[in-house]
Chain A
Amino acid sequence: MAATVAASILWPEALIDQEVLAGGLALIPALLLAHYRGWPIVTLLLGVGLVALVFMHLSPLFLGVSLRGPFLILFVLAPYISIALGAGWFGEVRRYQAELRATQLQLIQSEKLDSVGRMAAGVAHEVKNPLMMILTGVKVLAKRVPAADEQTRLLLQDMEEAVERADRIIGGLLNYARDRDLDLSFADVNDTIERSAMLVKHDLENAHITLVAKLQPGLPKLQLDEFKMQQVFVNLVTNAIHAIERDGEVSITTSLEKLTRRDLTGFRSTDRFTPGERVVIIRIEDSGPGIPEEHLKKVFDPFFSTKPTGRGTGLGLSVSQQIVDMHGGAIDVGNREHGGARVTITLKVDRKGAPS
């Protein structure tokens, strides 16, 4: 105990990284306090109350040992004060640990994406040659099949469409693997959203889905690759349409906000933002069934898809994350309180050279 106290005074920060030690320390005073029969004699607070010396009377019942007379105990009160206050140091420790874990996960994800990208580029190149062979062969046969042989013609048509689909997937893979550069310029994200909405207008109408845009006017201009961000919004709205299937609502809201510490805890890219920083937040919500809890951790994984075969490549959210990351922003996926999914994109407001 004495060694722990000494270590805590000399290297209090060591506790921050030693969750087990801190947890162990938390147990001891809990036991002591449960059998508390005495009174604190001296409470010496150092700094912001990190360390305290307390003299306590220990009950003879404690530890099942018969002890005569008062027993002097010196211990570090710091974590317990924090617990008692329900905030502060211990909370900070937990927050730092959560951030550390999030950063580690992000690094792993980034590594995974890089290797997937490299693999995708290789595979895409190898697959294109056989696709070309099949496509040309189908076309040769289609020319030879008599017009009356409707069934064979349909079969060949299906084969051609299958090749087209495979080519689209491969195009997506290459796009994913290569698009590492941004063509940045200052742009109004509301305009980018409106242009993206035009691209999905047809799909929305077909599915009887209303798009509600609540865009805060006068947002500061952001450094954006408009084409790539458009791709993000189209991906997200398309996902929402697929989730709703038919008859529903997709809403896009934008707002200028100031980040709080609480906001940062949920982010996957906490190191990119600081409390008090001004950001533009874009929320895309849908009236679909929401995302099952067990899928939430996987949604950004490349090739993860719950859509029927042929409808999604499982790259949409992964590509969107990559693009938002490249913009120095953060993207998070969750569920709304009253059903439906919510995607939140946070983008930095960069004032350097920004037009008014």
Chain B
Amino acid sequence: MRKRRILLVDDEASITRALAMYLTENGDCEVCVENKGSRALAAARSFKPDLIFLDIVMPDGDGGALAAEVQADPVLKGTPIVFLTALVSRRETGGTTMTIGGYPFLAKPVHPETVLASIAEHARERV
């Protein structure tokens, strides 16, 4: 089984850098990082991820709109998306899986182990 391809879209470069490092070193993942919301769709088309972690509030792109574009894209349609957001707190999620617009989300600051568990749960499997 090949490595899971994970696309991290977040305007905070320090977060994507640290998370990419963790996932690469501790998970069986190949990680692509995009810090510009406006370039995320192009990055996804080119990388063809098995799962996209998507920030909701970005200066040059709205995560919700981007998710809709991904699902409307003939190549990317069906790609699992998990939102990473600071808009809700972990306490509000009550430790359960909650969704925004039908997509699961993780509340920042999220433990990287939880990100790994989320990959195991949601990423598309490719043989």
Contacts and interface: CB of A to CB of B under 8 A. Distances in A.
Contact of B26 (A133, A143, A170): A143
Given A140-B18, A140-B21, A143-B26, A132 B89 contact: no
B37 to A, nearest CB: 15
Contacts of B125: none
Interface string A113-145: 000000000001100111111111101100110
A132 B57 CA distance: 15
Interface of A is mostly: helix
A74 to B, nearest CB: 71
A317 interface: no
A301 interface: no
Interface in A123-180: 124-125, 128-137, 139-140, 143-144, 163, 167-168, 170-171, 174-175
Size class of A's contact patch? Answer: 20 to 34
B111 interface: yes
Contacts of A163: 109
Interface in A265-314: none
Size class of B's contact patch? Answer: 20 to 34
A143 B112 CA distance: 11
B86 A125 contact: yes
Contact of B113 (A128, A134, A139, A171): A139
Contact of B89 (A143, A144, A171): A171
Interface in B1-56: 12, 14-15, 18-19, 21-22, 25-26
A161 to B, nearest CB: 13
Interface in A48-63: none
Given A135-B111, A140-B18, A128 B86 contact: yes
B77 interface: no
A286 to B, nearest CB: 27
B18 A171 contact: no
A143 B91 contact: no
Given A135-B109, A139-B113, A171 B22 contact: no
B93 to A, nearest CB: 11
A170 B89 contact: yes
Contacts of B22: 136, 139-140, 143
Contacts of A139: 22, 111-113
B90 A129 contact: no
Contacts of A134: 109
B18 A129 contact: no
Contact of A175 (B86, B91, B109, B111): B91
Contacts of B92: 171, 174
Interface of B: 12, 14-15, 18-19, 21-22, 25-26, 57, 86-87, 89-92, 108-113
Given A130-B14, A143-B25, 4 more contacts: A132-B86, A136-B19, A144-B25, A171-B91
Interface of A: 124-125, 128-137, 139-140, 143-144, 163, 167-168, 170-171, 174-175
10 contacts: A129-B108, A131-B108, A132-B110, A133-B14, A136-B15, A136-B19, A139-B22, A139-B112, A171-B92, A174-B92
